[in-house]
Structures are given as structure tokens and as C-alpha cells.
Amino acid sequence: MEAPPDNDVLWARSLHFTHRDGSPALGGVSIGVREGEVLAVSGPRGSGKTTLLSCLSGLTRAERGEIWFNSAPLHTLGPVARERLRRDRFGWIDPAPLLVPELNVWENAALPLMLRGTSRRRAKAAALEWLDRLDVGDRARLRPHELTQAERQRVCIARALAPAPAVLFADEPTAPLHRADRAHVLRTLTTAARSHGITVVLATHDPETAAVADRTVCLLDGRRVHTVHLPPVGESEGRAACSLSA
Amino acid sequence: MLALRVTRSARPAVQVRRLLVTAASAGTGFLLLSTLGYALGHPWASASAVLRLAWCVVPLAATAYLATAVARTDPGTRPRPGLAAIGLGPARLMAVSATTTALSSVLGSLLALLVFLHLRGDLTGLPFDGVRWEFLAPDQPLPLPGALTLLSLTPLTCSTAVALMLRPRDTVLATRAATRTLGRVGRQAAKAAGGRGGARGRAGSAPTRGGTGGPEDASRLPVSPPGSRPAADGHPAAGHRPAEGDALPAAGAGPTEADARLNGAGPTQADGRADGAAPRPAPPRPSPTALPWGAALLAAGLAVEAYAGGGATAAGLRLPGGLHGPGAALLGWTLTALGLALAGPGLTHLCGRLLQSAHPGAVRLLAGRGLMEEATRIGRPVGVLCAVASGAYAMAALGTDSATAGPLTVLGGLVVAGCALATLGTAAVEARQARAETTAALVRLGAPATALRGAAALRAGALLALFVPLTALVAELASVPLAG
């Protein structure tokens, strides 16, 4: 078995995954994530980005293929060990800010730390610090429903960054935001990750978002591609007929 | 037909819940029929027959309560974008839900009729033919219209209750609720938008949120008490309100969600995606405020019972109106039960508040805040269960020296207690359904399953620790004057 390269913190080879209903998701994706980089996984909707991220983070188990994290195999771990690894070393940002509605903002951000067994005071200090850094420090005592969507998403990012994970998986973190908020959120995310040496795997279908990354990996229909050649959207007759000016 | 199809293709857990409604309805129907039998056998004792009929209200109410709880958790009759698109909006789904409920309770009523006829000896050839209880009136012919009228009571009550609970609300109500709860946010948004109509946009988009959300969104809202139901109904009604078209991101989420639905490979992925398209946390339900009323009613009930029973010892304090005797005791019990049911949510909220106080860790925080959030949903059935339990305790304490309980009393007690228990279980299922999304997010964060389970166990333990002594105390207080 070939050992992974030293500078790759996370490394996967020929991952295959099929959904339970039989629709194919990943067909032999190989990927290497270097230490401390921001890697964008781009591709249109339905190209398997989310599945790849959840396989890499151990949320779902790939059918075939290998995943190595820090030179230790992840694909052979059981669910409990994967859960522990996810809690201790990985962070996850959802496409939508899913906060626990009954906790206030700083409690939400401190929750992963508290789940790891950090004392309440230290968890609160770390959470408040990250919230300040992400410009939502003044909202720390509000409940999630009182925030705007962009603020909630920033709280989610603070929650993911507060435990200082080794690898942060961000699944379309800017999907529900306007472009101004999108740029702000991305900037804060990448700056924080770079300054703390956190490796980020960023799934996105937006080329602008992918531009902030150090490296981009393209997926198409569950396969890794180097050049995307999609047929250009031509002006068909139906379009012309439907247009209002015609 | 749709109701039948929806009924048939449900998961076993859902079918079990519907069977519980059937069983409760069967029990209630049998009680009603035996009232008829008693009246047939004792045509001169009309007052006593009416009293028996009046007692049937308690199991009837318990059955309707269970039916509404089951209908709220029914996944088949929840607003779904796909169904709304083909014209099955909240109104039709309400009809489907009411029909489903009617189906299960009619089944129960028929079962009750069969058993009743069989026990009377009208249907021969089966065991237990020889039972000749007086309430069966075995010598008289059973008047069919009367029996059918009585039997139709349960399905009618259950269906009406379900339809009333799930009735589609006007969006005006939703707007009012949303502006009330979002008032502060709306003002902040207005401030941030620098008077570009931000507040209007936000307030306008609020009612559509439930509509543009995926099935999770819809599932989160309808299970809450009637107050937040309208948010889910905003979905089909969005078409009536063209002004909301410009109300930004929520409105724009529709097509992307549809895309996700088309592209999404598996149903789970599609759901997760749709969930990601437009997730807005629902404003929390207001914390329960009926605790003072509940406490007052409880105290009043206990006082009435004390006066009713303690005539000999407290002769100087006898009420001039003559509040004594079994009628007063019954009134006291009713007041006590009502007080417990009203105080349930408030006490649950208090329980959660105590649980998360004083520097809580993650588990205690999740458990306590969850309990505070679910206080209305969980607290009411818990209060009702406590009322039933205290009533049963007091009856048992009294029943030791008085005549032993007849089969009908036992059946009625079983129906009421079973309904209260089943309603509590259904409410717990409902709460779990409503929190499924949050739980999934916590799992993705890496929250250990033991922590989540520990939080749930802590919640149950805290409720037990508060309500068991309370029930015992109330039951003891209620039974002391009656026994003495």
C-alpha cells in the first residue's frame, strides 16, 4: 500500500459512492489536501461535492477507496472512532446556518468546545473571541432568530473555527447570501484559516468563491476533471420565441 | 381515496399511533353503548343514566386529545411543496387529516359495536357469550339509531377537533404573529437598511418563510401549537400576495430549491439540499404564561375538596352556599385536574430553567434549553397525565373502603390513562421530529451520541423529579378530606 505524501494532511484515492437509491455520486475521485491550504472543490450542482466532503470528513462511508488523515487510515475506522475524530480534529460548515435555536449566539459558538469537555469559562472566552473576530461579537447574547442570515452564517463559521480544527470542511458556506455578504464571509473565513494554519476544504459552484482558494479541484458528474468542457448554451428557437421582445 | 392511500402507505410507527386512536375510540364507544344499555335496562332511572352519559365526556375528551396529537405527528398529512403544486394545499390536507382520523375512530367504534353485540349475545358462536352484566341490557332489543348516534360521537368529535386544529389560517394572522415576534429584528433591519424599506421587506418576507422552505421547514412549523401554524400555510397563499415577490432572498429560494430537488440524487440528499436553500430559524414560541392560572385553579380545587369533605371538622367555616357533598368533590377534582393541565407547561419551563442554571455544561445546557423550548408541547400532556394520575390515586385511596370498581369504571380509567400516556408519547415523538434538523446539525458537528442521549435522559429525569412528587402531593391532599 502506497503511503501518502508527507505534506498531504488529508488524502483520498479512488473514492466510489452510490446513494442508497442507486444514483451514482462519486466515481473514483482521488484528491490530496495539503497542510494549511485552502482547497476549493468546485463543480456544478449535483457533481458530488457534498458527498465528497462528507466522505472525507467521515460523515458517510465511501463504498470503495481509501482516505488517509495524517498518515492514518480513516476508511477503516468504525463509526464511533470516526465520530470522535470528527469532533476532535474536523470542523464542518453547512450550506445554511443551522444553529441550535434555543441557545444564544455565544453558547452556540462554544458548544463544540463544551462537547469536547472544555470548561465553560474557557469555551466562552474562545467563542467570544472568535465572534469578535467575525464581527458578530456585539450579537453574542441574542438568539439565532434575531440575527440576519449573514450574521448567522458568521456565527456558524465562528462555531466551526473556535475548537481550532485541523481540517475545516465548508460545504457551500456562502450559498444563501448576497454577494456583499458572501465576499465578507469568505474573506473572514479564509483569513482566519490562514492565520491559524487551518486547512480548509471548500465546496462551491461559484467561480468567484473558488478564486479565494489556493488550489481548485473540479468535479463533474462525480469525477475529477481538469478542464470542464460543457456545451455552450446556444440560442435555441424556443428561447427566442419565449422572449418578451420577440 | 387519497386519505386511504395516505393511510395505507405509512410506516409501522405511524400505524401504531393510529391504532392507538382506534383503541381509544373503541373504548369510548363501548362506554357510550353501555350507557345506552343501562338506560334500556333502567328506563325509570333517567338521572342516573344521564350522569353515566356525562361521565363519558372524560374518555371522549381524552380520545379527541389523543387524536389531535396523532394527527399533528402524522407525516402523511403535512404540507408538502409537491402536493401543494398539484392543488393539495393546507385546506385539502386538513380534510385528508380529518378523514384519516375519522377512519381510525370509525374503525374503533365498529369494533366497540361488535364487542358490545357479542357480549349481549346477539352474535353467537364465540366465547364469552354467557356474560350478563346489567349494563348490556341483554333482554331488550338494541335501538339501532340510538346506538349509531352514540357511536358517531367519537369520530365526529375527533375529526372536528383535528380539523379545527389544522385549519388553514389566514396569512394576516401569520403576519401579525411574525411582526410581533420579529419586531426587534425588523427595526434593526430598518436601521441597517438606512430607510430603504428594509423593515417592510423583512416583515413581508416573514410569512413566506415557511412556504419557501423545504419539507423540513413545513414539518417544523405545523407541529407547534396553532399560533405558528399559519407560517406553514403561507406557502400556497404566497400567490395571493404579489407584494411579496420583491421581498428578496426568501422568494428567490424557490427555484433553486426546485433545481436541487431535480438534481438531488437520493431523497435524503434532496431534502438536505432543500433544507439548505432557505433555512430561517422560526422565532421561538413564547414561554408559557398560564402557570399562575394553573396554580390558582389547583389551589381552588383543593380548597373546594377540603370544604366538601371536611364538613364535620370545620363546621365553623362551612360555606354558606352549601359547597359540600359528592358534587363539590367532583367540582374540586375537575378544578384540580384543570389546574394541573394548565400549570404543566409553566412547570416544565421552570424545570428547564432550573436545569440550565448555574454554569451548565453542554449536556445540561442542551437538556435545559430544549425543555424550555418544548415546554408548551411537552408540558401540557405531562400536566394532563399528572391530573389523571392524581385522580386515579385519589380514587384508589377512596375505593379501598367503598364498593369495588365495576368493569365500566376500570375500562373508563384505562381509556383515560392510556390516552394521557399515549398523548405524552406522541408529543415526545412530535418534539423529536421538530428537533430532527438541529440534531442532525449537532451530529455533523461531531456531538457524541451519548451526549445527545444523555441530554434526553436528563430532560426526562428532571420532569420525573418535578412532576412525580407534585402528583403525589396533589393526590394526597385531594384524598385526605374525602377519606376523612
pLDDT top residue among B280 and B62: B62
Grid cell of A206 as nine digits:
461559484
Q: Are strands A8-18 and A64-69 parallel, antiparallel or unpaired?
A: antiparallel
Side chain identity, residue B212: T
Mind telling me how many Å the CA of A106 is from chain B's nearest CA? Answer: 12
Contact A35, A10 (CB under 8 A): no
Of B267, B280, B284, the CB nearest to A21: B267
Contact B97, B370 (CB under 8 A): no
Mind telling me how many Å the CA of B175 is from chain A's nearest CA? Answer: 16
Q: What digits encode the pLDDT tens for the residues B378-418? A: 888 999 899 888 888 877 776 655 455 677 888 888 898 99
Q: Return d(Cα B235, Cα B212) in angstroms, integer.
A: 6
Closest of B418, B376, B392 to residue B337, by C-alpha: B392
Put simply, the answer to whether B277 touches A107 (Cβ < 8 Å) is no
Q: What digits encode the pLDDT tens for the residues B237-265? A: 333 333 333 333 333 333 333 333 333 33
At B28, the pLDDT band (50, 70, 90 cuts) reads: very high
Percent of chain A scored above 90 by pLDDT? Answer: 4
pTM for this one?
0.71
Of B279, B283, B446, the CB nearest to A96: B279
Q: What digits encode the pLDDT tens for the residues A117-166? A: 888 889 899 999 989 888 888 888 888 888 888 888 888 888 888 888 88
Question: Number of helices and strands (H, E) in chain B?
Answer: 21, 0
Mind telling me how many Å the CA of A126 is from chain B's nearest CA? Answer: 15
Grid cell of B340 as nine digits:
394541573
Contact B163, B101 (CB under 8 A): no
Q: Are strands A167-171 and A90-93 parallel, antiparallel or unpaired?
A: parallel
Grid cell of B248 as nine digits:
428578496
Fold adopted by A8-227: Rossmann fold (3.40.50)
Q: Return d(Cα B210, Cα B229) in angstroms, integer.
A: 9
For residue A95, the SS3 value is coil
Q: Return d(Cα B371, Cα B381) in angstroms, integer.
A: 14
A50 reaches B (C-beta below 8 A):
yes
**DSSP type of residue A231:** P
Rg from Cα positions in chain B: 26
**DSSP type of residue A27:** E
At B107, the pLDDT band (50, 70, 90 cuts) reads: very high
Query: Distance between terminal CA atoms of chain B?
Result: 58
pLDDT top residue among A9 and B182: A9
| Other C-beta atoms lying within 10 Å of the C-beta of residue B17 | 24
Tell me whether residue A4 is exposed, middle or buried, using C-beta atoms within 10 angstroms of its C-beta: 0 to 12, 13 to 18, 19 or more: buried
| Mutation choice for A interface testing from B221, B377, B444 by most A CBs within 10 A | B444
Q: List beta partners, residue A170.
A: A93, A202
pLDDT of B235 reads 39
pLDDT of A2 reads 53
Q: What digits encode the pLDDT tens for the residues B326-371? A: 667 778 888 888 898 888 899 999 998 898 888 788 888 888 888 8
A92 reaches B (C-beta below 8 A):
yes
| Mutation choice for B interface testing from A17, A54, A100, A145 by most B CBs within 10 A | A100
pLDDT of B483 reads 60
* B343 phi-psi bin (left φ>0, alpha ψ -120 to 50, beta other): alpha
How far CA B305 is from CA of B299, B386, B416, in Å, comes to: 10, 18, 22
| Residue entry with cell 411579496 | B244
pLDDT of B476 reads 83
Give the contacts of B437 (CB within 8 A, at least 6 positions apart): A98, B216, B220, B275
Residue A4 has pLDDT above 80, yes or no: no
Q: Where are the domains of chain B?
A: 2-165, 171-277, 291-483
Give the contacts of B157 (CB within 8 A, at least 6 positions apart): B60, B63, B64
Give the contacts of B254 (CB within 8 A, at least 6 positions apart): B212
Q: Are strands A215-220 and A38-42 parallel, antiparallel or unpaired?
A: parallel
Mind telling me how many Å the CA of A154 is from chain B's nearest CA? Answer: 14
Give the contacts of B444 (CB within 8 A, at least 6 positions apart): A59, A92, A94
pLDDT of B111 reads 92
Give the contacts of B357 (CB within 8 A, at least 6 positions apart): B368
**DSSP type of residue B139:** T
Of A25, A99, A120, the CB nearest to B281: A99
Q: What digits encode the pLDDT tens for the residues B441-466? A: 888 877 888 888 898 899 899 999 99
pLDDT of B210 reads 36
B358 reaches A (C-beta below 8 A):
no
